[in-house]
C-alpha cells in the first residue's frame, strides 16, 4: 500500500531551526521564513557548528543580500498567489513595491539577474503550480479551478497551463492518475 | 400454430358430437321399438277382444237358435225345428272350449265362463225337459209351464251373463286401448324432436368439419410450399435434413443430404452404417463417439467432421440435432447437416489475408518509425548545422554562399513539413479509447494559439460561436481546427486581412447533402468560412485527396496533406466534411459530426 | 543546493546531438557541469557507483542501443537513491502515446530535439531554470511535468 502525504516544509524547517539554535544556546529571533536575526554576537566556532548542522538537513545559509531580497520577493509572491484573494485587484508590481519598499524596476531586474526568470513568469509558474495542486489534490473541475485562480475562462487557464508546461490540464490530470495507478500496482 | 391447435380441439369436439349422436340414435331406436311393440300388442288385444265377442255372440245366437227351434217345434210339432237345437248344443261345446282358451289369461272371465257353462247346461236341461213334455203333448201341464218359464229365466240369465262378459271384455280392451293410445300419440312427437336434434348436431358437425377441412387444406398447401422451399433452401444453402426415430432406431435422410454426399437422392438405405462409409477415415472415431453420445443423451450439439465423396473430393460438414417429441409422444431427433467447405475455405482465405494485412501493417508502422525517427534525424541535424553556420560563420560566407544556405534552409523546411504532415496523416487513426468528452471551444482556442504568430502577422480576425461539448479524440479535433484555419490563413487574398468565421448549428440527417442513410438523426454542424482566394467548385472533392494541390508549390507552401488529414479525422468520428469554393471570394468548409 | 552549479548528464548515442548539447551549455550563461554518456548501459553503470555525485537533471535519449531511454527511466525510478534527479527525455520524435507513457513512467520533462540551435539553447536554459525553481521554491516535484 502507498499513501500520499503533504507536509508543510516551512513548519518542518522552523521546528528544526528552533531545536538546533536552542541546542547551541544561541539567542535569536525568527523574523520571517528564511530570515533569522541573532540577538547577540555569535562566536565563529558556534557559527561553524550551526552551519554543519544545517548542512546535514540540506538547509543552506544564504549570505548574499541580493539573494535574500529575491527570496523575499518570492515569498511575497507565493503568499500572494496561494493565500490572498484580493491581491489580484492590485497590480502585482504595486503590491510588491508596497510590501518590500523598493521600486518595481529595481526588484524586477534583481529578480531576473538572480533567478534567470522574470517576476511575471514566476507568478505564472506559481499560479500554474497552484492549479496543479488543485487538480491533483481536490476534486475541483477545471472551471472551478479557473474561477478560484481568477482566470477569465477555462480556455485562458488551459492556454496558460499549456504554454507553461507544454501539456494540457486534462493530459496532466490523466498522467498523474495513471502514475498513481502504476504505483499502486507495483506495491 | 393456432389453426393446428383449433383443429386438434375441433377433433375432440367432433368425437364428442359423434358419440352423442350415436347415443341419441340408439335411444331413438329403443323408444321406437318399444312403441311399435306396444302398438302391435294393442292390436292383438283388439283382435282377441273381437274373437271373444264373436264367440259369445255365436254362443248367444246358438242358444237363440235352440230357443226359437224349441218354440217352432212346440207350435208346429215339426221335428225339423229341433235340428238347430241339436246342432247348437254341439256348437255350444265347441264355443265354450274356444272361449275358455281365449280367456285363459283372465281369471275373472274364466269364472264367468264356468258360471255361463253351468247356466247353459241348466238351460239345456230345461230345454230337454220341456221338449220331452211337449213331445208327450203335455203342454198344459203345470210342469211344462213351469219348465217353460224356467227355461225362459235361465235363457235370460245366460243372456245377461253373456252381456256381462262382453262388457267386461270391452272394459279390458278400453283400458289397454286408452293406455296404448296415450303412448302412441306421444311417439311421433318424440321421434320428431330427436330427429331435429340429430339434424342440428349433424349440421353443426358438418359446419365444423368443413371449416376444419378448409384450414387443413390451407395448411396442407402451406406445408407443400414450405416443403418445396425447404428443399430449395437445402440446395442453395448446402444443407440436408435428417430424422432419427429414436424408438424404432430408423433414419430418414432428405434428398439434399444425399446430394451433399455426392449421391443421387435416396440411392441407398438411410442408416448409420451406410452414412459412415462416406466419413473421412480420420473423423470416423470422432463422429462415432459423438453419435453414440447423441443416442445416449438424445441430443446433438454442433459437430464438425469431413466426408469423402465417391469422386474423391473432401467436404467439411457441420451437424446439429435437436430432440422433438411429437403429439403422439414419439421421440425423434431432427438434425441438420451443412456443407461448410466454402465457409472454411473462405475463413482460411480471410485468415491468410489477415496475416498478410498484419504483416503489411507492421511494415507500415515500421515505415512510420523510419519516417519519424530515421528520416527526421538527419534532417534535423542538417537544419541544426545550418543554424550553426548562419550564427557562427555568417561573416566568413560570400553573398552567394548566404543565398545557397537560404535555399538549403527552405528546402529542408519543406522536407520537414512533408515528413511531419505525412506522419500526422498516418497517425490519424481511429481508436475508441481515445474518445473523451471534450470542450470543443478549448480545442479551438488551443489550435488558434498554435497559429498566434501567423494570425498577428496577417492581422487575421477569427470569430467563433459557442460549440457544445462532444465525445471526440481531442488532439485530432484540435488538429482539424488547426489545419482548417491554417488553410484559410495560407490561402488568404493578398492585401486583405483574413476573416475566419466559425459557426455552429445542428442539422437533421435527412437534410444532409450526399448522405442518404445514417444511423444518427442529428449532426453537429461546424462551418469554417473565410474570405480567401477560394477555389473552383469543380475541385471541391479533389482537395481532400492526399497530395492533391490546386496551386503551384512556389505560390503557396502547402504539402497537400492538411485537408486529407481533416477528412480522415472527421471520418474517424463518423462524420463528413464538405467544401464550397468561390474563386476570389472565399471558401466554406462544413464539418458534420454525429450527435449522439 | 550543495554546489553553486547545475549538474546535468546526457545519455545519447548520437555524436552530433552530444556535440550540440555540450556546445549549447557552453554558450549558455548558466553555471553548469555537463557529463556525457554514449549509451544507457554506460550511464547506469556510472549512476550505480556508490556515493557518486548525482546529476540534478538527467537527459535521456529514448532510442539507444543496449539499453533504451525508457529502460533507464524505469530503472532509475525504481531506485530510491535517484528520487531527486529530474528526468528529461530528449528524443527525436515520438507519438503522443509514447510521450504520455514516459511521463507516466516518471519522466519530468519531454524534449523534442529541435532543428535549430538557438531553440535548443532556449529549451535547455528553460529546463535548467524551471528545475532550479522547483528546487529552490519547494514546489511539489511530483507535479513537475514539462513538455518542450
Instruction: Supply the CATH number for residue A128's domain.
Output: 1.10.10.60
Domain count within chain A: 3
Q: How many CA atoms lie within 13 A of A112 on its CB side?
A: 9
- The pLDDT of residue C2 is 40
B200-B203-B206 Cα angle (round to 5): 150
- Which segments of B238-313 are extended strands (E)? 239-245, 250-253, 300-308
Q: How far is C105 from chain A (nearest CA, A)?
A: 7
Helix axes A65-83 and A104-115, enclosed angle (nearest 10):
100
A3 within some domain? no
CA–CA separation, B48 and A46 (whole Å): 171
Contacts of C113 in chain B (CB under 8 A): 380
Q: Judge whether A14 is closer than 8 Å to chain C, CB to CB.
A: no
CA–CA separation, C45 and C39 (whole Å): 10
Environment class of residue C68 by beta-carbon count within 10 Å: exposed (0-12), middle (13-18) or buried (19+)? middle
What single DSSP character describes residue B538? G
B224 within some domain? no
Q: What are phi and psi of B526, to 5 degrees?
A: -115, 125
Cell numbers representing residue B268 in the block: 441407398
Contacts of residue B218, defined as CB under 8 A and 6 or more positions apart, other chains included, come to B3
Environment class of residue B75 by beta-carbon count within 10 Å: exposed (0-12), middle (13-18) or buried (19+)? exposed
Helix (H, G, I), strand (E, B) or coil at C115: coil
A171 plus A183 within the same structural domain = yes
Long-range contacts of B511-517 (CB under 8 A, 24+ apart): B512/B576, B512/B592, B513/B578, B514/B576, B514/B578, B515/B576, B515/B592
Domain count within chain B: 4
B442·A163 Cβ contact <8 A? no
- Which segments of B226-273 are extended strands (E)? 239-245, 250-253
Q: How far is A62 from chain C (nearest CA, A)?
A: 11
CATH number for the domain spanning B296: value is 3.30.450.20
- Cα–Cα nearest to B305, from B332, B278, B335: B278
B422 within some domain? yes
- The enclosing H or E element of B203 equals helix B142-236
What single DSSP character describes residue B556? S
Give the mutation candidate from C62, C93, C95 for the B interface (greatest B CB count, under 10 A): C93
A15 within some domain? yes
CA–CA separation, B452 and B447 (whole Å): 9
A159·B474 Cβ contact <8 A? no
Pairing of strands B522-529, B470-472: unpaired
Pairing of strands C86-91, C109-112: parallel
Contact predicate B201/B21, CB 8 Å: yes
B39 plus B137 within the same structural domain = yes
B139 plus B242 within the same structural domain = no
A138 plus A183 within the same structural domain = yes
CA–CA separation, B543 and B558 (whole Å): 12
pLDDT tens, residue order, chain B (596 aa): 445 556 566 677 777 877 887 887 788 788 778 877 877 887 787 787 788 788 878 777 877 777 777 777 777 777 777 776 667 677 777 777 877 787 777 788 788 888 888 888 887 777 777 777 777 766 677 777 777 777 778 878 888 888 888 888 778 777 777 776 776 677 777 778 877 887 888 888 888 888 888 998 999 999 999 888 888 888 888 888 888 888 888 888 888 889 888 888 888 888 888 888 889 999 888 888 888 888 788 788 888 899 898 888 888 999 888 888 887 788 888 889 888 888 888 999 999 999 998 898 888 777 776 766 678 888 899 999 999 998 888 888 899 999 999 999 988 988 888 888 777 777 777 666 678 888 899 889 888 888 888 888 889 999 998 999 998 988 889 989 999 999 899 888 888 899 999 999 988 887 776 666 667 788 899 999 999 888 888 888 888 887 766 666 555 666 778 888 899 899 888 888 999 988 888 999 999 998 87
B515 plus B551 within the same structural domain = yes
Which residue of A74, A136, A179 is in closest CB contact with C104?
A: A179
Contacts of residue B344, defined as CB under 8 A and 6 or more positions apart, other chains included, come to B316
CATH H-level superfamily of C6-147: Response regulator (3.40.50.2300)
What single DSSP character describes residue A28? E
CATH number for the domain spanning B514: value is 3.30.565.10
B387 plus B333 within the same structural domain = no
Pairing of strands B470-472, B436-438: antiparallel
Cell numbers representing residue B275 in the block: 452414412
B242 within some domain? yes
B455 plus B355 within the same structural domain = no
Give me the residues paired with residue B239 across strands: B338
Cβ-based contacts under 8 A for chains A and B: 18
**Order of strands, edge to edge, in the sheet holding C6-11?**
C32-37, C6-11, C57-60, C86-91, C109-112, C146-147
Q: How do the domains of chain C map onto residue ranges?
A: 6-147
A1 within some domain? no
Residue with cell 435437436: B322
Dihedral of the CA atoms B71, B74, B75, B79 (nearest 10)? 100
Q: Tell me which residues of chain B, numbers 438 to 457, contact chain A at a CB-CB cutoff of 8 Å.
A: 439, 441-442, 445-446, 449
Dihedral of the CA atoms B491, B496, B502, B508 (nearest 10)? -70
A4 within some domain? no
Environment class of residue B344 by beta-carbon count within 10 Å: exposed (0-12), middle (13-18) or buried (19+)? middle
A90 plus A136 within the same structural domain = no
A185 plus A127 within the same structural domain = yes
Structural domain span for residue A132: 123-187
A125·C133 Cβ contact <8 A? yes
Neighbouring chains of B at 3+ CB pairs under 8 Å are: A, C
Structural domain span for residue B121: 2-207
A74 plus A84 within the same structural domain = yes
B213 within some domain? no
Contacts of C106 in chain A (CB under 8 A): 179
A108 plus A162 within the same structural domain = no
CATH number for the domain spanning B403: value is 1.10.287
Q: Judge whether C95 is closer than 8 Å to chain A, CB to CB.
A: no
B116 within some domain? yes
ipTM for the whole complex: 0.86
Please give the model's pTM, rounded to 2 decimal places. Answer: 0.54
CA B154 to the chain's CA centroid: 100
A154·B439 Cβ contact <8 A? yes
- The pLDDT of residue B394 is 86
- The pLDDT of residue B217 is 92
Amino acid at each position: 500500500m502507498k499513501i500520499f502525504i503533504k507536509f508543510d516544509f516551512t513548519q518542518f524547517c522552523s521546528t528544526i531551526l528552533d531545536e538546533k539554535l536552542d541546542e547551541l544556546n544561541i539567542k535569536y529571533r525568527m523574523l520571517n521564513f528564511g530570515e533569522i536575526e541573532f540577538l547577540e554576537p555569535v562566536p565563529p566556532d558556534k557559527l561553524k557548528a550551526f552551519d554543519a548542522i544545517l548542512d546535514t538537513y540540506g538547509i543552506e545559509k544564504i549570505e548574499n543580500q541580493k539573494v535574500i531580497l529575491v527570496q523575499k520577493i518570492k515569498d511575497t509572491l507565493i503568499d500572494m498567489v496561494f493565500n490572498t484573494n484580493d491581491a489580484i485587484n492590485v497590480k502585482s508590481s504595486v503590491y510588491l513595491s508596497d510590501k518590500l519598499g523598493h521600486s518595481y524596476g529595481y526588484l524586477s531586474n534583481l529578480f531576473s539577474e538572480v533567478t534567470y526568470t522574470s517576476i511575471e513568469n514566476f507568478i505564472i509558474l506559481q499560479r500554474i503550480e497552484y492549479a496543479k495542486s488543485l487538480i491533483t489534490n481536490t476534486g475541483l473541475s477545471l472551471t472551478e479551478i479557473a474561477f478560484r485562480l481568477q482566470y477569465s475562462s477555462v480556455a485562458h487557464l488551459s492556454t496558460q497551463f499549456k504554454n507553461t508546461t507544454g501539456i494540457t490540464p486534462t493530459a496532466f490530470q490523466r498522467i498523474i492518475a495513471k502514475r498513481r495507478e502504476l504505483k499502486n500496482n507495483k506495491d | 400454430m393456432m389453426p393446428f391447435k383449433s383443429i386438434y380441439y375441433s377433433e375432440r369436439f367432433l368425437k364428442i358430437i359423434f358419440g352423442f349422436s350415436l347415443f341419441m340414435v340408439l335411444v331413438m331406436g329403443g323408444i321406437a321399438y318399444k312403441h311399435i311393440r306396444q302398438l302391435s300388442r294393442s292390436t292383438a288385444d283388439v283382435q282377441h277382444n273381437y274373437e271373444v265377442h264373436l264367440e259369445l255372440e255365436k254362443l248367444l245366437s246358438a242358444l237363440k237358435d235352440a230357443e226359437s227351434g224349441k218354440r217352432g217345434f212346440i207350435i208346429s210339432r215339426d221335428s225339423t225345428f229341433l235340428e238347430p237345437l241339436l246342432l247348437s248344443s254341439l256348437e255350444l261345446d265347441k264355443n265354450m272350449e274356444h272361449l275358455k282358451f281365449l280367456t285363459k289369461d283372465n281369471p275373472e272371465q274364466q269364472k264367468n265362463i264356468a258360471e255361463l257353462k253351468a247356466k247353459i247346461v241348466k238351460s239345456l236341461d230345461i230345454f230337454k225337459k220341456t221338449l220331452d213334455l211337449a213331445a208327450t203333448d203335455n203342454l198344459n201341464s203345470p210342469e211344462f209351464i213351469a219348465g217353460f218359464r224356467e227355461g225362459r229365466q235361465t235363457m235370460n240369465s245366460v243372456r245377461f251373463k253373456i252381456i256381462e262378459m262382453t262388457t267386461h271384455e270391452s272394459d279390458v280392451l278400453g283400458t289397454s286401448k286408452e293406455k296404448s293410445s296415450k303412448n302412441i300419440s306421444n311417439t311421433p312427437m318424440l321421434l320428431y324432436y330427436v330427429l331435429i336434434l340429430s339434424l342440428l348436431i349433424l349440421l353443426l358437425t358438418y359446419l365444423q368439419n368443413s371449416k376444419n377441412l378448409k384450414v387443413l387444406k390451407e395448411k396442407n398447401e402451406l406445408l407443400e410450399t414450405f416443403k418445396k422451399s425447404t428443399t430449395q433452401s437445402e440446395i442453395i444453402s448446402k444443407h440436408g435434413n435428417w430424422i432419427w426415430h429414436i424408438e424404432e432406431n430408423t433414419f430418414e435422410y432428405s434428398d439434399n443430404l444425399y446430394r451433399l454426399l455426392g449421391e443421387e437422392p435416396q440411392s441407398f438405405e438411410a442408416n448409420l452404417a451406410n452414412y459412415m462409409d462416406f466419413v473421412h477415415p480420420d473423423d470416423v472415431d470422432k463422429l462415432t463417439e459423438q453419435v453414440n453420445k447423441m443416442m445416449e443423451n438424445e441430443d446433438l450439439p454442433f459437430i464438425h467432421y469431413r466426408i469423402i465423396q465417391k469422386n474423391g473430393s473432401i467436404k467439411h460438414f457441420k451437424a446439429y440435432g435437436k430432440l422433438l417429441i411429437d403429439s403422439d409422444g414419439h421421440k425423434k431427433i431432427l438434425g441438420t447437416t451443412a456443407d461448410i467447405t466454402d465457409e472454411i475455405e473462405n475463413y482460411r482465405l480471410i485468415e491468410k489475408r489477415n496475416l498478410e494485412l498484419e504483416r503489411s501493417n507492421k511494415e507500415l508502422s515500421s515505415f512510420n518509425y523510419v519516417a519519424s525517427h530515421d528520416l527526421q534525424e538527419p534532417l534535423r541535424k542538417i537544419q541544426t548545422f545550418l543554424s550553426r553556420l548562419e550564427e557562427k560563420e555568417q561573416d566568413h560566407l560570400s553573398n552567394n554562399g548566404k543565398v545557397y544556405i537560404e535555399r538549403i534552409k527552405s528546402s529542408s523546411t519543406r522536407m520537414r513539413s512533408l515528413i511531419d504532415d505525412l506522419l500526422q496523416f498516418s497517425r490519424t487513426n481511429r481508436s475508441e479509447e481515445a474518445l473523451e468528452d471534450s470542450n470543443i471551444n478549448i480545442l479551438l482556442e488551443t489550435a488558434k494559439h498554435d497559429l498566434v504568430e501567423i494570425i498577428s502577422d496577417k492581422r487575421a480576425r477569427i470569430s467563433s460561436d459557442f460549440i457544445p461539448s462532444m465525445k471526440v479524440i481531442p488532439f485530432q479535433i484540435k488538429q482539424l481546427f488547426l489545419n482548417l484555419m491554417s488553410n484559410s490563413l495560407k490561402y488568404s487574398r493578398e492585401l486583405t486581412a483574413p476573416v475566419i468565421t466559425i459557426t455552429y448549428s445542428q442539422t437533421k440527417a435527412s437534410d444532409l447533402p450526399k448522405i442518404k442513410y445514417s444511423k444518427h438523426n442529428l449532426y453537429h454542424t461546424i462551418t469554417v468560412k473565410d474570405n480567401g482566394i477560394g477555389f473552383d467548385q469543380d475541385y471541391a472533392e479533389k482537395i481532400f485527396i492526399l497530395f492533391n494541390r490546386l496551386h503551384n508549390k512556389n505560390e503557396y507552401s502547402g504539402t497537400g496533406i492538411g485537408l486529407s488529414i481533416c477528412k480522415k479525422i472527421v471520418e474517424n468520428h463518423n462524420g463528413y466534411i464538405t467544401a464550397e469554393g468561390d474563386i476570389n471570394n472565399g471558401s466554406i468548409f462544413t464539418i458534420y459530426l454525429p450527435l449522439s | 543546493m550543495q554546489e553553486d552549479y547545475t549538474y546535468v548528464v546526457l545519455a545519447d548515442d548520437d555524436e552530433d546531438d552530444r556535440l550540440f548539447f555540450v556546445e549549447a551549455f557552453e554558450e549558455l550563461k548558466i553555471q553548469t557541469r555537463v557529463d556525457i554518456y554514449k549509451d544507457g548501459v554506460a550511464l547506469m553503470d556510472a549512476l550505480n557507483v556508490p556515493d557518486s555525485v548525482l546529476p540534478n537533471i538527467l537527459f535521456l535519449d529514448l532510442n539507444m542501443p543496449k539499453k533504451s531511454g525508457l529502460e533507464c527511466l524505469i530503472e532509475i525510478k525504481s531506485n530510491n537513491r535517484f528520487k531527486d534527479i529530474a528526468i528529461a527525455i530528449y528524443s527525436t520524435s515520438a507519438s503522443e502515446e509514447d510521450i504520455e507513457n514516459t511521463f507516466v513512467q516518471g519522466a519530468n520533462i519531454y524534449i523534442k530535439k529541435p532543428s535549430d540551435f538557438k531553440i535548443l539553447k532556449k529549451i535547455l536554459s528553460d529546463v535548467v531554470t524551471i528545475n532550479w525553481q522547483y528546487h529552490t521554491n519547494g514546489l511539489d516535484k511530483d507535479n513537475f511535468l514539462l513538455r518542450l
